């Protein structure tokens, strides 16, 4: 199989056990969420996409359909508590069931401690951990009945290695990682595995070739791509990772393990 940074060249599936299953991917209109949706569709999964911008979701649907996959756009604002039920109902009405949940939706705002308003804080937590909880509550009963299921919550390297800004963002990612561990323990006996994906510096809106440009802040020397994050998510949902649950998988080029950036000395 031939792979290229930023693009899946050969769409032969790596994880054949995913074929015929269905995934709900939030934040599927752009960035990492879009990359995950396209990869899961390439693996033979039906994909329901949730996001705030309908036009972005439809773009992803077209990409998937042009590649021979099946997808459904479900525009929704996950800050609305009732949105989780509406989205899950739409997905099950179309596909019959949902076998996997990937929660990638997030309010991207890096306001500092003093600039972080109450409304921003509330919206960030509503989109992140609260939506993850409400979506899981809707989908877990069906997974439990079938005796299997997979959940991947998208965190960030900032969940464990915060920067000086992003008070709400960092707190939300920390909460997502704690939820991952709790949900994994609560659902393990039902055959449902829960893991988190923690990306580092990822280029999602630029030319894929830019990921190969040198970056002195990352030990591997470059930024990552949405395609690389999608590969990790697909692995975590597949039976190739059948003995992994409750874990936060860092896909960050080594960023989370370094004390100082390469080239700097204490």
pLDDT digits (tens, 9 = 90+) for 126-139: 999 999 999 999 99
Q: What percent of the chain has pLDDT over 70?
A: 91
- Rounded to whole angstroms, the Cα distance separating 62 from 125 reads 31
Condensed to tens digits (0 to 9), the pLDDT of residues 26-41 reads: 999 999 999 999 999 9
Helix H segments across 147-225?
A: 167-187
What is the pLDDT of the chain when averaged over all its residues? 91
- Of the candidates 17, 22, 65, the residue with the CA atom closest to the CA atom of residue 47: 22
- Rounded to whole angstroms, the Cα distance separating 35 from 96 reads 24
Q: Rounded to an integer, what is the distance from CA 202 to the centroid of its chain?
A: 13
- Does the domain at 16-257 match CATH 3.40.50.720? Answer given as yes
- The pLDDT of residue 108 is above 90: no
Buried/exposed 232-248: b ≥16 CB within 10 Å, e otherwise: bbbbbbbeebeeebbbb
DSSP assignment letter at 250: E
Condensed to tens digits (0 to 9), the pLDDT of residues 228-250 reads: 999 999 999 999 999 999 999 99
The answer to whether 101 touches 139, Cβ cutoff 8 Å, is yes
Q: Is the dihedral of CA 90, 93, 94, 96 positive or negative?
A: positive
70 or 164, higher pLDDT? 70
- Of the candidates 78, 190, 175, 180, the residue with the CA atom closest to the CA atom of residue 134: 78
The pLDDT score that the predictor gives to residue 228 is 95
Of 26-35, 168-177, 201-210, which gets the smallest average pLDDT? 201-210
Query: Known catalytic residues?
Result: 169
Q: Rounded to an integer, what is the distance from CA 119 to the centroid of its chain?
A: 24
Buried/exposed 208-229: b ≥16 CB within 10 Å, e otherwise: eeebeeebeebbeebbbbbbbb
Query: Largest Cα–Cα distance in the chain?
Result: 58
- The pLDDT of residue 51 is above 50: yes
Q: pTM of the prediction?
A: 0.91
In the three-class reduction of DSSP (H, G, I as helix; E, B as strand; rest coil), residue 211 is classed as: helix
- Rounded to whole angstroms, the Cα distance separating 94 from 70 reads 11
The pLDDT score that the predictor gives to residue 5 is 35
């Amino acid at each position: 199989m031939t792979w290229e940074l930023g693009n899946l060249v050969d769409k032969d599936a790596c994880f054949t056990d995913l074929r015929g299953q269905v995934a709900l991917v939030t934040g599927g209109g752009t960035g990492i969420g879009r990359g995950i949706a396209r990869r899961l569709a390439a693996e033979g999964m039906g994909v329901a996409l949730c996001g705030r911008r309908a036009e972005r979701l439809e773009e992803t649907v077209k990409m998937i359909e042009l590649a021979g996959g099946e997808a459904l756009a479900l525009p929704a604002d996950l800050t609305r508590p009732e949105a989780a039920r509406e989205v899950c109902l739409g997905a099950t009405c179309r596909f019959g069931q949902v076998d996997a949940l990937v929660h990638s939706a997030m309010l991207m705002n890096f306001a500092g401690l003093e600039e972080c308003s109450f409304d921003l804080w509330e919206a960030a937590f509503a989109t992140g951990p609260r939506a993850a909880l409400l979506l899981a509550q809707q989908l877990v009963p069906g997974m439990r009945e079938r005796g299997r299921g997979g959940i991947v919550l998208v965190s960030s390297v900032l969940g464990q290695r915060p920067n000086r800004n992003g008070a709400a963002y960092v707190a939300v990612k920390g909460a997502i990682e704690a939820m991952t561990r709790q949900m994994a323990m609560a659902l393990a006996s039902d055959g449902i595995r829960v893991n988190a994906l923690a990306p580092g510096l990822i280029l999602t809106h630029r030319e894929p070739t830019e990921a190969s440009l040198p970056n002195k802040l990352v030990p591997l020397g470059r930024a990552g791509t949405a395609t690389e994050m999608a590969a990790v998510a697909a692995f975590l949902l597949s039976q190739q990772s059948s003995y992994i649950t409750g874990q936060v998988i860092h896909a960050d080029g080594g960023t989370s393990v370094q004390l100082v950036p390469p080239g700097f000395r204490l």
